[in-house]
A and B are shown apart, each in its own frame.
Chain A
Amino acid sequence: DAGVIQSPRHEVTEMGQEVTLRCKPISGHDYLFWYRQTMMRGLELLIYFNNNVPIDDSGMPEDRFSAKMPNASFSTLKIQPSEPRDSAVYFCASSPGPEAFFGQGTRLTVV
């Protein structure tokens, strides 16, 4: 298996633009997580899904953030409109059980 695949690996966008981050989980994994990593706040859990259904989105910072999982092999995290403080590395992870396996991350820079 290729592991969790995230795209793009790097994204630079201007403030106010819409940004969409994509994730393909490992086949057969029931859980999918989205995390944000910054120096100040560390690894924050934004939202996670079980069998494509959002279970806990209490970590989503505000209404500008939204996540979807239309099927078992694809998820998106969207920021609209983006702001400079959204600059971070965004990780997607999937899990068949307790432990999670992470993608390479998307480094987002909002200027």
Chain B
Amino acid sequence: AQKVTQAQTEISVVEKEDVTLDCVYETRDTTYYLFWYKQPPSGELVFLIRRNSFDEQNEISGRYSWNFQKSTSSFNFTITASQVVDSAVYFCALREGSQGNLIFGKGTKLSVKP
């Protein structure tokens, strides 16, 4: 069965610090997709990134970067030089195939203090 584990429930950092959010997944499928979503205090769920199981290239987008490692079943998310606006709950998610369930981890609440 598929499963997503975000072991960090809450993280608090000071502005400009780098922070890494961990995500470990379980799946029996060889084709799957991994995602990160952001939920700011306003409550909406914002899609950030998707990675395919057959593409282990890491990705960087501005201050955000993602490290996908199939060997350890991990898909970690790093925010460089964090800002107060990064304060939110971040969810890692997994979808088996392109038609399966989309399931979420429990989320990591990130607080960035000025």
Which residue from B44, B102, B104, B105 sits with its C-beta under 8 Å from A104?
B44
Q: Which residue of A lies closest to B104 (CB)?
A: A43
Report how far A31 CA is from B47 CA in the complex, Å. Answer: 16
- Number of residues on chain B facing chain A (CB within 8 A): 21
| A101 and B47 contact, CB distance less than 8 A | yes
Which residue from A42, A55, A99, A102 sits with its C-beta under 8 Å from B50?
A99
A77 beta carbon closer than 8 Å to chain B: no
| B95 and A42 contact, CB distance less than 8 A | no
| A45 and B102 contact, CB distance less than 8 A | yes
Q: B interface, by DSSP: helix, strand, loop or mixed? A: strand
| B47 and A42 contact, CB distance less than 8 A | no
A98 beta carbon closer than 8 Å to chain B: yes
Which residue from B44, B47, B52, B105 sits with its C-beta under 8 Å from A100?
B47
Which residues from B are CB-within-8-Å of A33?
102
Q: A interface, by DSSP: helix, strand, loop or mixed? A: strand
Report how far A50 CA is from B91 CA in the complex, Å. Answer: 24
Q: Which of A45-59 contact B (CB under 8 A)?
A: 45, 48, 50, 55-56
Interface string of B86-101 (1 = CB under 8 A from A): 0000010001001101
Chain B: minimal CB distance from A103 (Å): 8
| A42 and B102 contact, CB distance less than 8 A | no
Which residues from A are CB-within-8-Å of B106?
42
| A43 and B50 contact, CB distance less than 8 A | no
| B91 and A99 contact, CB distance less than 8 A | no
Chain B: minimal CB distance from A63 (Å): 21
B114 beta carbon closer than 8 Å to chain A: no
List A residues at the B interface (Cβ < 8 Å). Answer: 31, 33, 35, 42-43, 45, 48, 50, 55-56, 89, 91, 93, 95, 97-102, 104-105
List B residues at the A interface (Cβ < 8 Å). Answer: 33, 35, 37, 43-47, 50, 52, 91, 95, 98-99, 101-107
